[in-house]
């Protein structure tokens, strides 16, 4: 065989196209594509030379060489590596690895929301979806929609860690190694997919089966979605781990990510520190046995506005001729007390006082009824919500007499009601 037989450019170009087609169908990685295509061309060239030495024409030798080598799809199938190996190791599949990680974290977000709120969601409490959408709370990031943002941040940290700065000053490139610390966030995200998600789902499903039958229209989809979420979450975590390693398992990226996983494990499962006894609270006030005068006591901030408003109403003599009906401490707050009064059967109201700074201070007045008009509102609410208070009074009263209309008009210092509730 004349190994130095010159190959016509058209034949060589045909072989190059064939080799490129084979490499594309074999889905080779960037660093494999060129040497493999060159090797394929080399084999085709040698086969062509052998056929030419057998006295075949140039075109016939070209066609026969391609026929003997096999079709592109057949050759590509023999050279193509398993899809799982390509997905985990090939650089050209980097977008797919991030895609599976984001998909896995999206399903993890669904799983963790279901694990946290499954009773409310199944029982149809409509307030729950709004609660988990509220931002900036710890539950939003750990057990709500915000956990999806942590997944996106984890993927972004990997991209930033893969960036290779090429500044001229070497110390600046060394300083930028601090970007690897962001992989602690990625470590937490991997911990959530690999450890927290299966454990949380197991606890939820165990409690779920106590209250619901295993085979119901609720439990079967609930379990199936959990299984899908966990399996794809583990697959997505594996994809991101291979992306971080970049065929080298002994590097700073891998070590920092592992540190993030270990920190997350410790924070999540370490026993809580012993609780210290609570510091002594303020001394409880003595039992009050006298009527407080709101004009003499100190005031809270709200009480100051209420008392100022009252003092401008010269006709409003609520503090005169009052009879103490009842004195009630707040069962939930020992530093709050209510004194109920009435001047006559049609005027009843409560004075609210707070114990602040070692003394009782006037806070607000709750008006039950005045001149036969049902108020049932705090005076601070009436002052701050003028129009809304008038509307509530109209809704809670029957037909108002002319005297009652005049009183309401005088009370609000506004135009009298033109229409009474009928």
DSSP letters along 12-70, please?
HHHHHHHHHHHHHHTT--HHHHHHHHHHHHHHHHHHHHHHHHTT--HHHHHHHHHHHH-
* Residues 162, 54 share a domain: no
Hey, how many other C-beta atoms are within 10 angstroms of the C-beta on 321? 11
Give the range among 44-53, 101-110, 261-270, 310-319 with minimum mean pLDDT: 310-319
pLDDT at 284: 63
Same domain for 170 and 36, yes or no, is: no
Q: How confident is the model at residue 417 (pLDDT cuts 50, 70, 90)?
A: very low
Higher pLDDT, 208 or 286: 208
Pairing type for strands 359-370 and 298-299 reads: parallel
Of 364, 363, 367, the closest CA to residue 348 belongs to: 367
Q: Does 76 map to a domain?
A: yes
Question: Are 145 and 61 part of one and the same domain?
Answer: no
Residue 420 lies in a domain: no
Q: pLDDT value at position 299?
A: 87
User: How would residue 125 be classed by pLDDT, with cut points 50, 70 and 90?
Assistant: low
* 249 shares a domain with 335: no
Domain presence at residue 281? no
Confirm whether 338 is domain-assigned. yes
Confidence of residue 225 (pLDDT cuts 50, 70, 90): confident
Q: Is 174 a residue whose pLDDT tops 60?
A: yes
Q: Is the pLDDT of residue 344 over 70?
A: no
- Coil, helix or strand at residue 188: helix
pLDDT score for 407:
76
Predicted local distance difference test score (pLDDT) of residue 416: 43
Asked if residue 402 belongs to a domain, the reply is: yes
Tokens of 49: 């030379």
Q: Which residue did the predictor score with more confidence, 77 or 333? A: 77
Q: Say if residue 25 is in the same domain as residue 42.
A: yes
Q: 103 and 154 in one domain?
A: yes
Strand partners, 374: 369
What's the token pair of residue 175?
């300083």
- Of 18, 53, 80, the residue at which a domain comes to its end is 80
Claim to verify: residue 49 and residue 20 sit in the same structural domain: yes
Question: Count of domains in the chain?
Answer: 3
Pick the range with the lowest mean pLDDT from 30-39, 271-280, 377-386: 271-280
Looking at the DSSP assignment, which residues form a beta bridge with residue 356? 359
Q: What is the average pLDDT across 33-46?
A: 91
Give residue for tokens 């009064």.
341
Alpha-carbon distances, residue 50 vs 12, 19, 42, 136 (angstroms) = 15, 19, 13, 74
Whether residue 296 has pLDDT greater than 70: yes
Query: Are residues 310 and 255 both part of a single domain?
Result: no
Specify the pairing of strand 359-370 against strand 347-356: antiparallel
Within 283-362, residue ranges assigned H as helices are 301-311
**Could you list the residue range(s) of the whole structural domain that residue 66 is in?**
9-80
Instruction: Please classify residue 369 by burial: count the beta carbons closer than 10 Å to its beta carbon, then call 0-12 exposed, 13-18 middle and 19+ buried.
Output: middle
Confidence of residue 265 (pLDDT cuts 50, 70, 90): very high
pLDDT at 96 over 90: yes
Q: Within this chain, do residues 223 and 105 fall inside the same structural domain, yes or no?
A: yes
pLDDT at residue 22 is higher than 70: yes
Q: CA 44 to CA 340: how far, in whole Å?
A: 104
| Widest pairwise Cα distance in the chain | 131
Within this chain, do residues 406 and 320 fall inside the same structural domain, yes or no?
Answer: yes
Q: Is 367 helix (H, G, I), strand (E, B) or coil?
A: strand
Report the alpha-carbon distance of residue 186 to residue 163 in Å, rounded. Answer: 16
Q: How high does pLDDT run on average in the chain?
A: 82
Write down the residue that tokens 């039958």 correspond to.
213
In a domain, 174, yes or no: yes
CB atoms within 10 A of CB 63: 15
Same domain? For 226 and 176 the reply is yes
Query: How far, in Å, CA of 103 to CA of 108, rounded?
Result: 9
The answer to whether 418 touches 391, Cβ cutoff 8 Å, is no
**Above 50 in pLDDT, residue 337?**
yes
DSSP code of residue 349: E
pTM for the full model?
0.60
Give the C-alpha distances (Å, rounded to integers) separating 209 from 116, 123, 216, 222. 16, 15, 11, 11
3-class DSSP assignment, residue 212? coil
User: Does 278 fall in a domain?
Assistant: no
pLDDT at 186 over 60: yes
Q: Is residue 33 part of a domain?
A: yes
Q: Is the pLDDT of residue 107 over 70?
A: yes
Q: How many CA atoms lie within 13 A of 22 on its CB side?
A: 27
Chain Cα centroid distance, residue 302: 37
pLDDT at position 345, please? 64
255 pLDDT more than 80: yes
Q: Are residues 226 and 302 in the same domain?
A: no
Rounded average pLDDT over 399-418: 68
Query: Final residue of a domain: which of 48, 80, 112?
Result: 80
Residue 305 pLDDT > 70, yes or no?
yes
- Which residues 6+ apart lie within 8 Å of 10 measured at CB? none
Q: Which of 65, 72, 75, 20 is nearest to 43 (CA)?
A: 65
What average pLDDT does range 136-141 have in this prediction? Answer: 77
Domain end call among 24, 46, 80: 80
Q: Residue 126 has what pLDDT? A: 56
Q: What 3-state DSSP class applies to 169?
A: coil
């Amino acid at each position: 065989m004349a190994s130095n037989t010159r190959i016509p450019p058209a034949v060589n170009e045909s072989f190059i196209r064939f080799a490129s087609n084979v490499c594309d169908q074999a889905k080779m990685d960037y660093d494999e594509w060129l040497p493999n295509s060159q090797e394929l061309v080399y084999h085709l060239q040698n086969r062509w030379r052998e056929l030419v030495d057998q006295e075949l024409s140039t075109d016939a030798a070209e066609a026969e060489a391609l026929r003997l080598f096999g079709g592109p799809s057949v050759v590509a199938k023999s050279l193509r590596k398993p899809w799982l190996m390509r997905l985990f190791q090939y650089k050209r599949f980097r977008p797919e690895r991030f895609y599976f990680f984001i998909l896995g974290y999206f399903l993890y977000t669904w799983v963790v929301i279901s694990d946290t709120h499954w009773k409310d969601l199944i029982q149809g409490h409509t307030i729950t979806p709004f609660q988990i959408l509220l931002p900036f709370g710890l539950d939003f990031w750990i057990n709500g929609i915000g956990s999806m943002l942590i997944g996106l941040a984890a993927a972004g940290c990997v991209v930033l860690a893969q960036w290779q700065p090429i500044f001229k000053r070497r110390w600046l490139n060394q300083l930028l190694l601090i970007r690897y610390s962001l992989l602690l966030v990625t470590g937490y995200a991997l911990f959530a997919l690999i450890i927290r998600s299966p454990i949380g789902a197991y606890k939820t499903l165990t409690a779920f089966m106590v209250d619901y039958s295993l085979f119901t229209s609720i439990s079967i989809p609930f379990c199936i979605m959990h299984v899908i979420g966990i399996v794809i979450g583990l697959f997505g975590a594996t994809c991101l781990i291979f992306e971080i390693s970049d065929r080298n398992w002994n590097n700073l990226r891998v070590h920092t990510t592992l540190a993030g996983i270990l920190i997350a494990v410790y924070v999540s499962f370490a026993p809580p520190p012993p609780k210290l006894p609570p510091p002594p609270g303020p001394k409880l006030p003595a039992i009050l046995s006298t009527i407080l005068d709101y004009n003499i006591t100190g005031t809270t901030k709200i009480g100051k506005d209420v008392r100022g408003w009252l003092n401008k109403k010269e006709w409003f003599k609520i503090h005169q001729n009052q009879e103490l009906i009842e004195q009630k401490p707040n069962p939930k707050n020992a530093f709050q007390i209510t004194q109920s009064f009435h001047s006559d059967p049609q005027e009843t109201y409560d004075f609210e006082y707070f114990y602040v700074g070692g003394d009782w201070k006037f806070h607000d007045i709750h008006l039950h009824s005045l001149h036969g008009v049902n108020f049932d509102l705090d005076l601070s609410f009436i002052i701050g919500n003028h129009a809304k208070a008038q509307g509530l009074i109209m809704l809670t009263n029957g037909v108002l007499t002319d005297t009652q209309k005049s009183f309401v008009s005088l009370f609000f210092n506004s135009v009298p009601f033109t229409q009474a509730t009928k």
